Every structure is written in C-alpha cells, then in structure tokens.
Amino acid sequence: MRLQKRVIEVIKKYDLFSKNDRILLGISGGPDSVSLLSLIFNINRTGNIYSELSIAHLNHLIRGKESEQDEQFVRGLAKRFNLSIVVERKDIKGIAQKRKLSLEETARDERYKFLETAAKKVGASVIAVGHTADDNAETILHRIIRGAGILGLNGMRPKRRLNPLSIITLVRPLLFSWRKDIIAYLKEMNLSYRCDSTNLEKDKFRNRIRMELIPLLEKDYNAKVKKSLIKLGEVATQNYDFLKSQGEGLFEKIFLNGEETDKDFKEVTLDIPSLKKVPTVLQQIIIREAMVRLGIPLKKFGYRQYEDILDLIKRKKTLINNSVKNYLNVSIEDDKLHLSRGRYHAQEEHVLEEIELLVPGETQLEELRYKIKMEAGEIKNGFLEKFKQNKTNYDEAVDFDKLSMPLTVRTRREGDRFWPLGSRGIKKLKDFFINNKIPRMERNIIPIVAMNDQPIWVVGHRLDNRVKITERTKKMLIMKFERY
C-alpha cells in the first residue's frame, strides 16, 4: 500500500493523467511493467484517474521461445484484467543488421514507434511505461561514463511528449519507486512476472553498470549513490529548463525564415551575427530548437555534433561528424546558417541506394520516410479522371505498356539524364535542377523513379516525356509517394 500511495502522489504532483485520458500501458511482462499495470488499474478503481485503459506488447523475437512465452504471458494479463491489447512482432535483430545499429538502440527505437502506432490505434492520448528510480540512476551514470552535457544529465522525466512533434504524452508513474519495493509489492499481491535472460548478460555495457559498477560504488564509495545520481539529474533538469526557456525566447529573434510544410519545416535559416552574440550553451539550444522544427531525431545529436555545427559558423569550413551528415544539411550563405533535413549537401554518397519497387504494391523508404504505392488500372470507368481530380505533385500516372520492369527508386547519380515533360528533348538532371531553382541542399534527397537505370520521374517535380499517357494508352500505372 505504501507503493500505491507513492504512485498516487507522483500522478498528482506531475499531473500524469486526467479523467478524460485514454491510457496505453507498455507491458513487456517484466516485474516493473506488471506492477505498473496492477497499480494503475487498482488506483483508478478508487480515484477515477483515467477514462479507459489498454495494453500494448511488442514481441522483439530476440529470445526465441522466451519471447513467445512473454507474449502469451502478457495476453494472459489482458484477459485477467479484462483489457484490450495490441500486439506486434518485429525482427529487431534483422532491423539492427540492416541499419547497422546496436540491438539495444534498435529495440528502443522500434518499441517507441510501436507504442505510438498502438496509441493511435486505440485512441490513447497517454502512454505509460514502467521505468523506475533504479532505471533513472543507471541511465544518468551511463551517460556520465559516455560523456554527457547538462541535457544528458537530466535523466528520465516523469512526463514528456513522446517526441517533440507528437501530441501523445509519455509518462512514468514508477519513476520515483525503487525496484526492491516493486518486487515486494508483486509478492504481496501474488502477481507473477517474466524475467528477461538478456538482462543477465554481462557483455552488455548497461547490464555491467547495473550488476557490477553500482554495487561496487554502493559498497566502497557511497551506499546511497543511486539517490545522489537522481539528485544530480533533478538539479540538471532545473538548470536546463531555465536555459531552454532563455534559448527558445532568443530563437524567435535569430530565426529569419523557414520553408514550412503541413507538419513541419523543410528548412530553417538563422542569422549568424545574432547567433554569435549569445553564450555557447544557448547557441546549442537554439540549434536544437531548429532541429525540433525540422523533425530531426534529437537523440542522434550530442555535444560533439553541436560543436561541429558551431565550428562551421566560426571557421566557415569544417569536417562534419557523420551523425550530422546523416540527418542534417548544413550550409552558410551571406551570414545565414541554413539547416534542412537530409544529408550534408557536400557529401558524395547517395542518400538512398537503389530499391526495387513492388508493382503493384507498396514499398517503404525508411531513409527518406516515404512509402510508395503502385496501382495499375485500365483507362475506363472514369479511372483517369478520378485520379486527376485528387492529384498532387507527389502523384503521377504513366503508360503501363511503355514500362520495362523492374522499376526502382533511388536518389540522383552523376550523369543522370531524362526528358522532362513539356521540354524539347533530353537534359542533364543537374541542369534541370539548376534551371528550376531547386535548392542545392534538397537535390541529394529527392527520390527518383528509374527504369533501366534511367530516371522516368523526378518525384515532386517532373515526369519523363517518354512514359506519359497519350490517346493510345490502354493501361496505366498510378504512382503515389506519401510521407509516414
């Protein structure tokens, strides 16, 4: 009951839930998530803290039979508590190998993507996860060892947006509860749980911090080291929140303009002389705010990456770290700093390697956050007219019989040529970009549909004349590019 009282205090203090909220619980089957489910369910029966509760479980397929048993265990919890459940399976190992990322980082990324999708599916406005005070202390120590700035020392927050542009809130009701109290609660409530065997593998850095380093620090240096780490996180949070408010206020004065889409910005321009006048720490926060507006994943940027960008402002020439290249275009013109999504414009590597398209079908381009839909149809029953009524720059129709399979999608290559619709003949793609005043920073991230290794559609800009629909066309292929 002490644990339940503590969680109620946290919910009230940080305003985690409201009576109209639909809550989605991320449940792995481990002790923390099982206690989260039990506590939130029981607290609501007496206090009415939310309107509806659902469960989400992601099967990582990492531990074979154990993963299957975890999924069945969580499905059993859903039945026991009479709650709806969303379950998804993802090959985390395969995704990690494809993206050349660590298993831990991939699992985290995919888990939050899944939780967001599941929340939208059930109409939840809040996602609750079972992170504890122990998790927070381990996270802060982990970041100290890796080399963190003031933002990294913040640790976990009890409440935040799922991501900077999301309307969904992520909450951690157990963040001020210790794992030993959670285990005692589960024993008292006679609740079973699953144990993840990978948490015992000492080849994982995070596991060694929990199993070896923290016990050593508690034994030989400070018995309350975890409390000290959390206190450090709280102080860092207070300081960072103040600096962030100052930086965001200055941003509006330094922000010159931005090319805006329906959801976020394609490009942000900052005034360099004004930026140089503010302290370095506020310069970093201003750059961070620009990346938020661009929808760039902030976790890919640390002190080194911000330092690279600020060094570019000072010297106007520098080597940009790969983490910057992968996500951010950076350039300077006339004392203006231009930032946009994509790769650093001077990099010679292609953003998107050639991918074969499903025709008909749907293909996802994870690097560019696009999905491509291909639909074949006869030119009858108003099929073409209906398409034209709803057509955007990211939709095109071509003569199916003029195509040679397979069709592929990629970004530009040296020597690319095509016949722009409405022009007199074949042109270099480079000249087409220049003549149509397409910003240099955007050229490397524009998808190109190709046939026989030659462009037939510069997506969002122009179709090739040789595949256009004519009076003789009998069958057409509709191509649709959509952001996701």
DSSP state of 152: G
Taking alpha carbons only, the member of 249, 262, 260, 316 closest to residue 289 is 249
Supply 417's token pair: 């040529």
Do 202 and 281 share a structural domain? no
Identify the domain containing residue 426 by its residue range. Answer: 355-483
pLDDT of residue 338: 85
Q: Report if residue 163 sits inside a domain.
A: yes
- The enclosing domain of 270 has a CATH number of 1.20.59.20
Supply 16's token pair: 């985690």
CA distance to 168, 238, 248, per residue, from 301 (Å): 23, 21, 18
Verdict on whether the full-model pTM lies above 0.85: no
- The enclosing domain of 106 has a CATH number of 3.40.50.620
Cα–Cα dist 133/131, whole Å = 7
Ranges of the chain with pLDDT below 50 = 261-263, 318-319, 321-323, 343-350
- Helix 225-254 vs helix 133-146: crossing angle, to nearest 10: 70
Do 290 and 370 share a structural domain? no
Half-sphere exposure of 135 (CA within 13 A, CB side): 19
Do 377 and 285 share a structural domain? no
360 preceded by cis ω (within 30°)? yes
Q: Considering 341, 367, 386, which residue would you say is the last residue of a domain? A: 341
pLDDT of residue 166: 75
Domains identified in the chain, total number: 3
Q: Report if residue 229 sits inside a domain.
A: no
- Cβ partners under 8 Å of residue 328, min gap 6: 291, 294, 296, 309, 339, 340, 341, 342, 344
Do 438 and 399 share a structural domain? yes
Supply 227's token pair: 């409390």
pLDDT of residue 317: 53
Do 469 and 402 share a structural domain? yes
